Amino acid sequence: MINLPELFPALYCRCEHNDKGSVRFLHCDYPISISIAEYEFIYNLVRENYLHAGYEVATGTGLSSIAFAEALRDSNQFGYILTVDSYVEEAENSCNSYFGKSSVIRDSKGFNAIRTALNELGLREYVDLNIGRSPEDVGSIVESREAFDYVFIDAQHTTDALIADLTAIAPHILKDGFVLIHDAHCFDMETINGKCGELFGNVPRPAPNCGLDRRGYNLHYLKVKK
């Protein structure tokens, strides 16, 4: 795993009172990144399944995109991940900032920090950074793109919002691709399972070692069957 606080101490730091290895930007408390275990899960999933076309909402600290990009580089595989964020969480320094908001931040320190890290790590060619919102901007952002074989959803944490995010990107996901949902405990998973069955012919299951009681934040995943 790439150690962002060690490599970029002016941009990133470890999350205090957190034993899962998450990082945050130095200038704000939120967003908080995925855990070390989740980074490793994403990295291995990409490499073992030869995934090459990713979509992600939201970018957060950039660590989940970096996991995908590092896997591509280390396997000498061509590909990219398209990642989207409104950067409102960073601007308001609150994990609840997305609720009831429709704004985007165009001059985000976080966006610039991620871009700097990607450039220094030699991963910029693998990550397509976008500023926008889901589901409102998904159509214009993915227009003319090839279909995705990997989707990571970690945006607004309500059941209705997650359903909207999944529905917006579903037409652009390949059969046998993977859909990942972060913070599954925040949602009515019975409702989410029903929607995923309808959209993807499968339901999400917990990623190994990524539950709240282990080393993660309840990451779930599924393989698309239709």
What is the mean predicted confidence (pLDDT) over 83-110?
A: 89
Q: Indicate whether 181 belongs to any domain.
A: yes
Q: Indicate whether 184 belongs to any domain.
A: yes
Which band of pLDDT confidence, cut at 50, 70 and 90, is reported for residue 23? very high
Per-residue pLDDT, 96 = 83
Q: What are 58-86's pLDDT values in tens digits?
A: 999 999 999 999 999 999 999 999 999 99
Say if residue 136's pLDDT is above 80: yes
Sequence-separated (6 or more) residues with CB below 8 Å from residue 96:
none
According to DSSP, the residues that pair with 130 across neighbouring strands are 84
Per-residue pLDDT, 59 = 97
What is the mean predicted confidence (pLDDT) over 149-177?
A: 97
Say if residue 169's pLDDT is above 90: yes
Q: Indicate whether 4 belongs to any domain.
A: no
Reported as type and span, the H/E element at residue 140 is helix 138-142
Unique residue bearing structure tokens 């896997």: 71
Say if residue 101's pLDDT is above 80: no
Say if residue 223's pLDDT is above 90: yes
Which residue in 187, 152, 173, 184 sits closest to 226, CA to CA? 173
Say if residue 99's pLDDT is above 90: no
Q: Indicate whether 8 belongs to any domain.
A: no
**Residue 59 and residue 129 in contact, taking contact as beta carbons nearer than 8 Å:** yes
The CATH number of whichever domain residue 54 belongs to comes to: 3.40.50.150
Tokens (6 digits) for 91: 């601007």
Peptide bond into 9 cis (omega under 30): no
Rounded to whole angstroms, the Cα distance separating 167 from 142 reads: 14
Q: Indicate whether 20 belongs to any domain.
A: no
**Residue 55 and residue 151 in contact, taking contact as beta carbons nearer than 8 Å:** yes
Q: Indicate whether 3 belongs to any domain.
A: no
- Number of structural domains found in the chain: 1
Which band of pLDDT confidence, cut at 50, 70 and 90, is reported for residue 110? very high
Q: Indicate whether 206 belongs to any domain.
A: yes
Q: Indicate whether 105 belongs to any domain.
A: yes
According to DSSP, the residues that pair with 54 across neighbouring strands are 81, 150
Give me the domain span that covers residue 128: 35-223
Which band of pLDDT confidence, cut at 50, 70 and 90, is reported for residue 130? very high
Per-residue pLDDT, 1 = 83
Which band of pLDDT confidence, cut at 50, 70 and 90, is reported for residue 144? confident
Rounded to whole angstroms, the Cα distance separating 224 from 88 reads: 31
